[in-house]
Amino acid sequence: MNTKVNDEARLVEVETQGAIATITLNRPEKRNALSLPMVRQLRECFEALPGSVRVAILAGAGPHFSAGLDLSELSEASSADGIQHSMTWYEAFSKIQFGRVPVICVLQGAVVGGGLELASSAHVRVAEESAYFGLPEGQRGIFLGGGGSVRVTKLIGFSRVTEMMLTGHVVSASEGYVIGLAHYVTPAGEGMRKARELAERIAGNAPLSNFAIMQALPLIAEQPMSHGLMTEALMAAITQNAPEAKDRVNAFLDKRAAKIGAPDPKTGE
Ligand code: 1HE
């Protein structure tokens, strides 16, 4: 099924195949610069994913994932507009990070400013070799405003974010892999294939486990140790008590399930 959110503007496209939805930033002529209408459409897409979807892939059309904030929106904006602007981005990116389904991002070319803030709200990042990461806010006379101070900092630490913002250091895909901006680096044109392979794997997990991974892990990371351990224990008890968990564990004990790193005995894959 192929739907265009807001047919007139066609800024974000959604294509659903079975359990996997692919959501594509579709403004390549502006290097997928994130305008407010585009950010709103992104939110709508994630809110409207059909119940049959279990994983989403987020991609950008053209040679660049995203050139970040649409800078043309800034020229007339007041401080109050700026705060509202950030709030709109926060709502949209929260729907991605804390939505119903895990999100895999495919990155190529520029992943800069707000583009990196967007990518950091996804759960898995696959970077093609062409991808590069930057935080040019310092050069533009502005600041992070799409949650990057929190999310990018959690990925690579505030020292690296500070240095990238101060110096305009552009981080290559391979360097991004080493410091934790990307989980995988693929040859050119291979990012989507890799993302689909990962999506199939994630879609095969128990939904309750995926829920716990997406929703509980980030909360636990912000809790003091005693609270974190309690949250973990509660989440563990709930997931392992689900009938699906019992079935999966029994399948392993009965030698019907794949060992780690080995082909699945049922499918041979
Ligand atoms: C844009 C934007 C944009 C391109 N806002 N219009 N982001 C930046 O500082 C990155 C700015 N962009 C670039 O450095 C380059 O465009 C790229 C390296 C990403 C790509 O270069 P290139 O040569 O392929 O494309 P181009 O010719 O620069 O751009 C094509 C068109 O897209 C052109 O418009 P045209 O009408 O002349 O065709 C560009 O003006 C337009 N375009 N990027 C608006 N960002 C919530 S706070 C987040 C803060 C930030 O994100 S700061 C980082 C902003």
Calculate mean pLDDT across residues 95-110.
Answer: 98
Q: How far is the CA of 6 from the centre of ligand 1 (A)?
A: 23
Q: How far apart are the first and last CA of the chain?
A: 27
What is the per-residue pLDDT for 262?
77
pLDDT at position 266 is 63
Asked if pLDDT for residue 115 goes beyond 90, the answer is: yes
Beta bridge partners of 133: 111, 171
The band of 6, judged by pLDDT with boundaries at 50, 70 and 90, is: very low
Residue 267 has pLDDT above 70, yes or no: no
pLDDT digit string, tens, across residues 120-173: 999 999 999 999 999 999 999 999 999 999 999 999 999 999 999 999 999 999
Domains for the chain: give ranges and CATH numbers.
2-203 (3.90.226.10), 207-253 (1.10.12.10)
Whether 117 is a known active-site residue: answer yes
Q: Is residue 30 within 6 Å of ligand 1 at its C-beta?
A: yes
| H/E segment holding residue 236 | helix 225-241
Å from CA of 33 to ligand 1 middle: 6
Q: Count Cβ atoms within 10 A of the Cβ of residue 148 and give its class: 0-12 exposed, 13-18 middle, 19 or more buried.
A: buried
pLDDT score recorded for residue 203: 97
The pTM of the full predicted model, rounded to 2 decimals, is 0.94
